[in-house]
Amino acid sequence: MDAAQDGIPAPDIAALGAAVTLELCGSWDHPPPCPLAPHHTRPEQKGDTVTLRIIFATEPANEALVRSRIDSALRRGSLTGPDGRTSEWAFLGGVPGVLDPSEADHARRLTGG
């Protein structure tokens, strides 16, 4: 899944991945694997815009729920970290992506394979 963010100003890009982790796992500090959907986030920043690439693995029956939770986390538009610092962003939208062949090994690790 790819999601674009428009920073206000550019957010702490780690907060975007942390927001997804918090929504999917209930905490960003937990032992692996993630209970609902083991995942990996990769942010790419160009100016004030951050594109967040999210790879996740889940049972087919849970895919819609996982996508919905990811959208919810990013639409929330802010996250306060354990240090008390709040990062804010504007969610521009997200779309399901296609796994790139260069991501295949990482995807296998997420599935425990």
pLDDT tens string 25-51 = 998 888 888 889 999 999 988 887 888
- The CA distance from 71 to 93, in Å, is 8
Query: What is the per-residue pLDDT across 65-96, written as a single tens digit (0 to 9) for each?
Result: 999 999 999 999 999 988 888 988 889 888 89
Residues 45 and 72: beta-carbon distance below 8 Å: no
Closest CA to 112 of 51, 44, 59: 59
Say what the pTM is.
0.84
Contact residues for 27 (Cβ-Cβ < 8 A; gap 6+): 21
Q: Which spans in the chain are helix H?
A: 13-25, 63-75, 104-110
Tally of domains within the chain: 1
Least confident of 2-6, 40-44, 55-59: 2-6
Higher pLDDT, 24 or 7: 24
Can you give the residue range of the structural domain that contains 83? Answer: 2-110
